[in-house]
Structure 1
Amino acid sequence: MPRVIVQKINNDEQIRDFKELGTDAKELIKAAMDARRNAYCPYSNFQVGAAIQTADGSIYTGCNIENGSYPAGICAERTAACKAISDGKRDFVACAVVAQQEKGFTTPCGLCRQFLAEFAQQGDFPLYCTKPGCPPLKVLATTIRDLLPRSFSFLGNK
């Protein structure tokens, strides 16, 4: 049985205080913060960390990895997802993304949104976006479906 991290949040309640989140959500965010420290981003200097929780409670982390051949780079979210998938975990139940952006929160890019939606256990899962800090003060608490309401799928279960 998957651990429930947070119920779906209304649009007007998307910005939350870190201290209001459940223990599992805080753990996921902290794992993403730790992963961010390993980012390889000599071109953009924009460090991103991500953490994905699977239905069995496992947490997989990733960071962005840039390359001189620009398309060869990979986002933090897909790095974490690929680690989970390569371990046989295909049932994502939550994700956290941590990056520093002055005027907003960094959410997954379109490619990552579609990639993550493919592995959403029930067609959706909570997504926490925040800035680095110990602890972060504010968290954008949303869902993958809110960010990508009509994801592309051959599977017909989304």
Structure 2
Amino acid sequence: MEHKKLVTAALEARENAYTPYARFQVGAALLGKSGKIYPGCNVECASYSPTNCAERTAFFRAVSEGERSFTAIAIVGGPEGKPIESLCPPCGVCRQVMMEFCDPDTFQILLADSPDHWQVHTLRELLPLGFGPANVLERKEGTSHENV
């Protein structure tokens, strides 16, 4: 995977962010195992609760197009109309969505502030005791209350 290409796609996605309230624009670019890149941006709403993060926009777009396996995501963010000055990690809700679809030990999360500068983290690093599909499937298969 070419990290620079993924970061550049996230920067381009950020330009489409709809942020009339917080004025904090985020872009994401999600790489499917198929090799396809799914861009996403944050979309705010006046009542805040229905607001959707860039990372989840990218995931939901990919899933709606049939992709279910992912290898990496690049995330960029910062105040509207200004250059990005710091890294923008995903919120807890976005990390939970990542846990639904990604292997926490191999999925790469690139936090970038430019096409030439990024950090790479695994999902396990950012969500060390993540709750995912395996937790639900184990419970359905009859684990005892002692193990819950």
TM-score interval for Structure 1 and Structure 2 normalised by the shorter chain: 0.7 to 0.9
Matched, 1:127 2:144: no
C-alpha distance in 1, partners of 2:99/2:24?
24
Residue in 2 that maps onto 1:141? 120
Partner Cα distance (2:3, 2:66) in 1: 23
> Following superposition of structure 1 onto structure 2, how do residues 105-120 of structure 1 map, counting pairs within 5 Å?
105-120=87-102
Runs of 4+ in 1 over 4 A off after TM superposition: none
1:83 CA drift (Å): 0.3
Q: Which of residues 11, 17, 22 is equivalent to 1:33?
A: 11
Residue 49 of structure 2 aligns to a residue in which SS? helix
Cα 1:107–1:122 change in 2 (3 A) is closer
- Tell me, in whole angstroms, the C-alpha distance in 1 between the residues paired with 2:78 and 2:119: 13
Among candidates 52, 61, 74, match of residue 30 of structure 2: 52
Higher relative contact order (CA 8 A, sep 6+): 1
Secondary structure of the corresponding residue to residue 134 of structure 2: coil
* TM-score normalised by length of structure 1: 0.77
Query: Alpha-carbon deviations, 1:75-118, whole Å to 9, x = none?
Result: 00000000000011010110000113777411000000010121
Residue 74 of structure 1: how far off its partner (Å): 0.1
Q: 3-state SS of the aligned residue for 2:24?
A: coil
Q: CA RMSD in A?
A: 1.9
Change (3 A) 1:121 1:147: closer
Which residue matches 1:19? none
Partner AA of 1:97 in structure 2: I
- Alignment size in residue pairs: 132
5 Å-filtered alignment, 1:1-158, equals: 5=1, 24-100=2-78, 104-121=86-103, 124-131=106-113, 133=114, 135-136=115-116, 138-156=117-135
TM-score (norm 2): 0.82
Provide the C-alpha distance between the structure 1 equivalents of 2:119 and 2:13, rounded to a whole number of angstroms.
19
Greater Cα offset, 62-71 or 100-109: 100-109
Q: If you compute each CA radius of gyration, which structure gives the higher value, 1 or 2?
A: 2
Q: Which runs of 5+ in 1 are unaligned?
A: 6-23
**1:97/1:128 contact within 8 Å kept:** yes
Q: In structure 2, the residue corresponding to 1:33 is in which secondary structure?
A: helix
